[in-house]
């Protein structure tokens, strides 16, 4: 009975345990369900724009047709897929653009396929998805070349070394692909690097520096291709470079403005100019060497050094070919306040490699400062390297003198011989060309070094200048440059005018020194003369046996030399007499030595004079002998000639007589 009760209790406990476990599992499932419900995306992806239909030329591929993120949007990362199509493959590729992952679509039709297919794209965030509109893909024959319109240049009158922008607009029925600019500056046609076009409409443009001299007929045109390889060419246009003997430019500034410029085009020294009430760091010029598509930042610090608020404006002039931005274009600085201005300059990745010139213009309450910017844009990928180095000492020259540079080509890959068009020039930091040259070379080795020189103008102001070279090899451009400085010639009149007070003070000091030296010399001579006279006087007194007067004179002589005589010495007259005699002997010996030296000098001079006279007399005698021998030789020659003539005359007379008979 007890065992039955125990069995029933055990069974009840098992049932309770199972039921509790079920309850726990149910509650656990309920909790999990709640968490999942909270994590679900409340904003499903949407199709923000309809994806356009695509047209593809037969036997061509359409890569990077569009980015899917331009048509789908969501607050979560989306994944994409597409419905399959016959005869056309679709690839969706992810890439990072400005730190953002984007997905582009490429289409790859089968070879020789033509026809229309459709596709739908699906975008999903992991919880929900959305379909795109139906996109029709038309693969068709394309035999129609691109159409061109309005080829033009931005200048009507063009001088040698001018920078000119050429352009033309293009349209195509399916898709544009690329264009090439070609120019003939008097010798041969030069093709520049090809650049990409896209879509059904595009503009081709090229910025070229004209190297042709005045009077040269320059021809130019554009080529363009579409995605099917159909090519079209604009008409060949031309212009004549204007001949100008001397070109001068002047700049004027408003009377209410004070202009301070570091631009090389203006006659302002390279030295930092003192600007009233504010300071700019650095106050000079910016030389930037960059690559196509590379971002560059220039930092300029402006400090208010005055005692009142100053309003500033910062602007960029030139550099229209670049993407530019200024952190603050207008601002106010309080007393002693500073601000750093960031200027961002980015060349387009398809911009032609070249040297570009611009300037930053800072205006502070009417005081204008111009800071030149020189940008050297190098190609992203180049098979050749170009280097340039100024060889002038300390990279300094005087106005009107030659600038010498080493230009070195280097073949970075094993490429066959190439024809090189080399252009090199010197210009100021505003892009004004001072001198230039262009030549054609054959580059067929690993390394080639050239020594080239250009000449500055006498009118060039002391400042910084740039020597640069541009080489075109196989339609690719490489660049190199180096800076040099034109120094100031020494101007005596300006130096005297500037330092007149210092010169006068120096001359006075020199004259005073000369006067003091002469005075001391004369004083010493006078002292020696008096000493000599006193010694002769003492000598005469001793000769006359006038000991007292001789002693008095000796005391004077000693006092002149600052040697007083003691009382004991004065009392011993014999010793005094001996001292006086020795002094007289010393003076006599000194006189004899001086006389001997003078006699020796005179003797040497006389010997030199006599030797010179002997040489002169010997030379005269030699000349006489030569003249006499010449005269005797002449006389002998004359007699010989006469003797030869006499028998000849006799023979002639005899022959005459015979003929008469």
- Order of all β-strands in the sheet with 100-109: 62-67, 100-109, 88-97
Residue 570 to residues 323, 553, 582, 584: CA-CA distances in angstroms? 108, 13, 16, 18
What is the CATH architecture of 259-492? Sandwich (2.60)
Q: Structure tokens of 396?
A: 């300094």
SS3 state of residue 30: helix
In contact, 487 and 396? CB cutoff 8 Å: yes
In contact, 132 and 148? CB cutoff 8 Å: no
Instruction: In whole angstroms, give the CA distance from residue 369 to residue 266.
Output: 12
- Order of all β-strands in the sheet with 129-131: 79-82, 121-124, 129-131
Instruction: In whole angstroms, give the CA distance from residue 201 to residue 148.
Output: 10
Residue 355 to residues 221, 287, 376, 392, 452: CA-CA distances in angstroms? 23, 10, 5, 22, 19
Instruction: In whole angstroms, give the CA distance from residue 263 to residue 357.
Output: 11
Q: Structure tokens of 62?
A: 């359409």
134 phi-psi bin (left φ>0, alpha ψ -120 to 50, beta other): beta
Can you give the pTM of this predicted structure?
Answer: 0.45
Instruction: In whole angstroms, give the CA distance from residue 271 to residue 527.
Output: 58
Instruction: In whole angstroms, give the CA distance from residue 512 to residue 521.
Output: 14
Which class would CATH give 46-140? mainly beta
Q: Structure tokens of 516?
A: 């003091």
Q: In the chain, where are the structural domains located?
A: 46-140, 147-240, 259-492, 501-629
Distance between terminal CA atoms of the chain?
A: 208
Per this entry, what is the length of the chain?
661
Residue 558 to residues 64, 531, 561: CA-CA distances in angstroms? 116, 10, 5
Give the Cα-Cα-Cα angle 356, 359, 363 (nearest 5 degrees). Answer: 170
Of 58, 109, 119, 61, which is closest to residue 87 (Cα–Cα)?
A: 109
**What is the model's pLDDT at position 282?**
80
Q: What is the mean pLDDT of each run of 10 residues along the chain (661 residues)?
A: 56 59 46 41 83 92 91 90 93 87 93 94 92 94 93 87 89 93 89 88 89 89 93 94 52 34 34 63 84 88 89 89 89 90 87 87 88 89 87 89 91 74 87 85 84 89 89 81 83 74 89 89 79 78 74 74 66 69 72 70 74 74 70 64 53 57 45
Rg (C-alpha) for the chain, rounded Å, is 52
Before 496, cis peptide (omega within 30)? no
Instruction: In whole angstroms, give the CA distance from residue 269 to residue 466.
Output: 16
In contact, 361 and 378? CB cutoff 8 Å: no
What is the H or E stretch that residue 385 is in?
strand 384-390
DSSP 8-state secondary structure symbol assigned to residue 242? B
Instruction: In whole angstroms, give the CA distance from residue 469 to residue 481.
Output: 6
Of 169, 202, 164, 181, which is closest to residue 475 (Cα–Cα)?
A: 181
- In three state form, how does the secondary structure of 139-189 look? EECCCCCCEEEEEEECCCCCECCCEEEEEEEEECCCCEEEEEEEEECCCCE
What is the H or E stretch that residue 538 is in?
helix 500-543
Q: Does domain 147-240 have CATH number 3.90.230.10?
A: no
Measure CA 644 to chain center. Answer: 85
Residue 63 to residues 104, 117, 119, 515: CA-CA distances in angstroms? 8, 17, 16, 96
In contact, 465 and 286? CB cutoff 8 Å: no
In contact, 199 and 174? CB cutoff 8 Å: no
Task: Calculate helix-pair angle for 573-660, 500-543, nearest 10 degrees.
Answer: 120
Residue 2: CB atoms within 10 A of its CB come to 6
Task: Calculate helix-pair angle for 547-560, 573-660, nearest 10 degrees.
Answer: 70
Do 46-140 and 259-492 have matching folds? yes
Instruction: In whole angstroms, give the CA distance from residue 184 to residue 440.
Output: 13
């Amino acid at each position: 009975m007890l065992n039955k009760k125990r069995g029933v209790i055990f069974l009840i406990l098992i049932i309770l345990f199972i039921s509790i476990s079920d309850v726990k599992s149910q509650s656990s499932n309920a909790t999990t369900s709640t968490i999942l419900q909270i994590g679900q995306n409340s904003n499903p992806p949407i199709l923000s724009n309809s994806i356009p239909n695509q047209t593809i030329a037969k036997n061509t591929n359409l890569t990077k047709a569009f980015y899917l993120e331009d048509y789908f949007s969501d607050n979560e990362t989306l994944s994409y897929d597409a419905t399959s199509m016959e005869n056309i493959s679709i690839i969706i590729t992810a890439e990072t653009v400005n730190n953002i992952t984007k997905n582009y679509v490429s289409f790859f039709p089968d070879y020789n396929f033509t026809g229309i297919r459709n596709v739908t794209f699906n975008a999903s965030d992991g919880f929900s998805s959305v379909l795109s509109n139906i996109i029709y893909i038309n693969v068709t024959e394309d035999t129609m070349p691109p159409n061109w319109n309005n080829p033009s240049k931005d200048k009507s009158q063009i001088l040698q070394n001018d920078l000119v922008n050429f352009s033309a607009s293009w349209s195509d029925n399916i898709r544009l692909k690329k264009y090439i600019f070609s120019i003939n500056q008097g010798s041969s046609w030069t093709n520049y690097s090809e650049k990409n076009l896209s879509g059904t409409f595009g503009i081709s443009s090229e910025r070229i520096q004209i190297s042709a001299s005045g009077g040269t007929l320059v021809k130019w045109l554009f080529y363009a291709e579409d995605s099917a390889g159909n090519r079209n060419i604009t008409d060949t246009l031309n212009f004549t470079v204007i001949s100008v003997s001397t070109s001068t430019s002047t700049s004027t500034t408003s009377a209410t403005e004070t202009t301070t410029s570091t631009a090389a085009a203006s006659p302002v020294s390279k030295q930092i100019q003192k600007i009233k009430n504010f300071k700019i760091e650095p106050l000079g010029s910016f030389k930037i060497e960059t690559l196509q598509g590379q971002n560059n930042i220039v930092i300029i610090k402006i400090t208010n050094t005055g005692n009142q608020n100053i309003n500033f404006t910062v602007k960029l002039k030139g550099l229209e070919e670049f993407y530019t931005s200024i952190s603050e274009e207008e601002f106010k600085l309080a007393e002693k306040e500073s601000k750093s201005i960031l200027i961002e300059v980015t060349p387009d990745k398809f911009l032609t490699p070249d040297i570009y010139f611009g300037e930053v213009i800072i205006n502070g309450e009417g005081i204008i400062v111009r800071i030149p910017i020189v940008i050297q844009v190098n190609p992203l990928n180049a098979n050749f390297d170009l280097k340039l180095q100024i060889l002038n000492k300390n990279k300094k020259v005087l106005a009107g003198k030659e600038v010498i540079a080493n230009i070195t080509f280097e073949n970075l890959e094993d490429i066959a011989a190439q024809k090189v068009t080399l252009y090199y020039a010197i210009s100021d930091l505003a892009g004004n060309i001072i001198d230039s040259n262009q030549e054609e070379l054959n580059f067929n080795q690993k390394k080639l070094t050239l020594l080239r020189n250009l000449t500055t103008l006498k009118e060039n102001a002391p400042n910084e200048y740039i020597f640069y070279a541009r080489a075109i090899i196989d339609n690719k451009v490489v660049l190199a440059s180096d800076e040099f400085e034109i120094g100031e010639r020494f101007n005596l009149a300006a130096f005297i005018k500037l330092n007149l007070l210092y010169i006068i003070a120096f001359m006075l000091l020199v004259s005073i020194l000369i006067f003091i030296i002469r005075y001391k010399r004369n004083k010493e001579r006078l002292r020696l003369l008096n000493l000599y006279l006193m010694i002769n006087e003492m000598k005469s007194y001793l000769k006359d046996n006038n000991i007292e007067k001789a002693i008095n004179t000796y005391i004077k002589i000693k006092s002149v030399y600052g040697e007083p005589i003691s009382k004991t010495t004065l009392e011993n007259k014999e010793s005094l007499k001996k001292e006086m005699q020795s002094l007289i002997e010393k003076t006599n010996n000194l006189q004899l030595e001086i006389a001997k030296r003078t006699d020796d000098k005179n003797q040497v001079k006389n010997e030199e004079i006599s030797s010179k006279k002997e040489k002169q007399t010997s030379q005269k005698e030699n000349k006489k002998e030569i003249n006499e021998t010449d005269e005797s030789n002449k006389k002998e020659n004359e007699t010989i000639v006469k003797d030869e003539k006499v028998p000849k005359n006799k023979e002639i007379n005899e022959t005459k007589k015979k003929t008469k008979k």
